[in-house]
Amino acid sequence: MNGQNGSAFMPDEDLLNVILADLKRTVREYTTAATESACPAVRRVFNDLTMDTLRLQGELYAQMGELNMYTPPSKALRQDVDKQIQAAQQTQQKCQQFIQQKTGQAAGFAGIQNNQSQQAGTNNSYFM
């Protein structure tokens, strides 16, 4: 089975799909390493590696798209994207609140948040 490049290994499209999948996996691994790094210098290295790999993945994806070797996913509805963003923001806020509570900074923050909740006309029992 010869590919378009004349090799007997595998067709170009299959080979590029394997490389693309490997780049995606590598980004996940680098991201995990960065989040688990205690040393700022090591974290910075993994952040740089993540960004370089994302750039490579994007370039390969674009090239494969131009050659009709990769079908992009269907477009997401704006309301679905907004819903995911809102859920992520809520999760981030809960994490920040938890961290502040555990580090002893919650008292001042809770007062500010409770004040903001009352001004917005909402009653958030989490802060009461």
HEC profile of 91-122: HHHHHHHHHHHHCCCHHHHHHHHHHHHHHCCC
Least confident of 12-26, 32-46, 92-106: 92-106
Res 106: pLDDT: 47
Query: Tens digit of pLDDT for each residue in 41-99?
Result: 999 999 999 999 999 999 999 999 999 887 777 888 999 999 999 999 999 999 999 88
- Mean pLDDT for 104-128 is 49
Give φ, ψ of 43 to 5 degrees: -60, -45
In the predicted model, is pLDDT for residue 107 greater than 90? no
Residue-level pLDDT at 104: 79
Could you tell me the pLDDT band of residue 4, with boundaries at 50, 70 and 90? low
- 20: which 2 tokens? 């693309």
Helix ranges (DSSP H) in the chain: 12-36, 40-66, 78-102, 106-119
Could you give the CA distance from residue 83 to residue 21 in angstroms, rounded to a whole number? 28
The two three-digit tokens of residue 113, written as one number: 């948040």
State the pLDDT at residue 125: 39
